[in-house]
Structure 1
């Protein structure tokens, strides 16, 4: 069995290279990931986009999705952080059709990706979930189990209202939201409630972003919900929190 498949390598900016890795999953379709790596990374962040979770990473490294994580993928290198866009081989649903991110198969895939990149780099590994992806981050953190000690922290942004964190989750947590997010399923309070409800002994931080522009549907990638044209600030807040904790 191949433990990884390196397909595409190219230089983007900040001296980073990009590679596609297929993380094996029993006898089923692997979990496809796209790694953008600076020459000397200090940490690694796993990016779980919203919607149905299907980013559409090809073997050649192209990505079908225009999600904010895709638009900002090359910005992490400025901070010495390796960024990994994580795809899903199947639709993970949404708030209207049913959220499948709590199903065991999905969480097992997350665990496999976390352990794969931890073993590969030996760096602090963080999970960053946006919108529906915030439920991936919170579900996984709530059910760490055997992976406790492998994950260094989580970041949630444009959080869905049904997401929550157990008080037993002691990892550092950053919440990011756009002040003018107009998506009914991701109100600002969804993020602030989680951060402000955390036990005071834990590291928790809330960042509210303003500015940018909103285009298309209020729950889409180019709306305020998707941090359209505030990507540098979006990544900066997350990167600084990672490096400081």
Structure 2
């Protein structure tokens, strides 16, 4: 089945629950018959859509009416900033509230990311990017390693888990050598999370040997409000420097979009 046929089929399968003015809750079909709840936030004419993959256990507690029980994660917390920058974002919850730790580098999870990308294409025209933070960077790497034929325009990895911890997987388990789209690695020099040391950024970038272009964006700062160094409200989660980080990533996204348009 062609990607166009898949998009048309999936468009007929979505159900949407009412939420805030710029936000919609989507109930998306997945391979195998599961359903995926996701929050979609978009300006009227987005420059691109970013599939945002949360860190931690991946369970943000999204309800059908748009309430979010666990909204501290950077990709959830920053959605208004992405909207202001002209980007749509698609933020998935964990299917059935399951804990995603240890599952994000698997082929099954790569297929789920692929379903999210299809959903993003259905919602709006234009390029789609993957962005993952912390444990979610493993999912973004895995998705980028498996997607082909222009399905995504690039991948952004922020504060990536690059050393073994409780999940027993890292971005290096997600086949970085298979990534064949432009990539951005973001690293906060003040991140003290033991499984995501900023000094590993260059190693992560080098591992994506099949990418046509890999850039490392270094940031600094952030406040420590979480009790854990790997918590969302900490330098690891860009707490207090959200605008700085969004601006830096948005500049890279805009450059990637412009570069791609010049090649058409």
2:137 is matched with which residue?
134
Is 2:49 the counterpart of 1:48? no
Deviations 1:149-191 (A, max 9, x none): 1111000001011313534422110111211111111111333
Q: CA distance change for structure 1 residues 200 and 107 in 2, over 3 Å: closer, same or farther?
A: closer
Structure 1 residue runs without a partner (length 5+): 12-16
1:195 aligns with 2:205: yes
Aligned to 1:149: 150
Structure 1 position 48, deviation (Å):
0.3
TM-score under structure 2 length normalisation: 0.82
Q: 1:243 aligns with which of 254, 257, 261?
A: 254
Q: What displacement does 1:204 show?
A: 1.5
**Which residue number in structure 1 is paired with residue 120 of structure 2?**
117
Give the equivalent residue in structure 1 for 2:85: 79
Report Cα offsets for 1:99-118 as digits up to 9, x if no partner: 11123332222111101221
**Separation in structure 1 between the aligned mates of residue 146 and residue 200 of structure 2, nearest angstrom:** 20
Aligned residue-pair number:
234
Distance apart, 1:56 and its partner CA: 1.2
Output the TM-score relative to the length of structure 1: 0.88
**Which piece of structure 1 moves more, 18-27 or 161-170?**
161-170
Whole-angstrom CA distance in 1 between matches of 2:78 and 2:254: 18
Q: Which has more strand, going by share of residues?
A: 1
Q: Which residue of 2 aligns with 1:163?
A: 171
The answer to whether the aligner puts 1:91 opposite 2:98 as a matched pair is yes
Q: 1:62 aligns with which of 54, 58, 67?
A: 67
Deviation at 1:27, TM superposition (A): 5.8
Tell me what 1:14 maps to. Answer: none
Task: Give the conservation status (yes or no) of the 8 Å contact 1:131–1:157.
Answer: yes
Other-structure match for 1:24: 29
Residue equivalent to 1:227: 238
Q: Deviations over 1:44-71 (max 9, x none)?
A: 0010011111111110111112111121
Comparing 171-180 and 24-33, the one that deviates more: 24-33
Q: Secondary structure at the match of 2:171?
A: coil
Distance change in 2, residues 1:91/1:177 (3 Å): farther
Cα distance in 1 for partners of 2:38, 2:237 equals: 21
Quote how far apart the aligned CAs of 1:35 are. Answer: 0.7
Structure 1 counterpart SS, 2:153: strand
Measured in 2, the distance between the counterparts of 1:166 and 1:198 equals 5
| Unaligned stretches of 5+ residues in structure 2 | 1-9, 163-169, 257-264
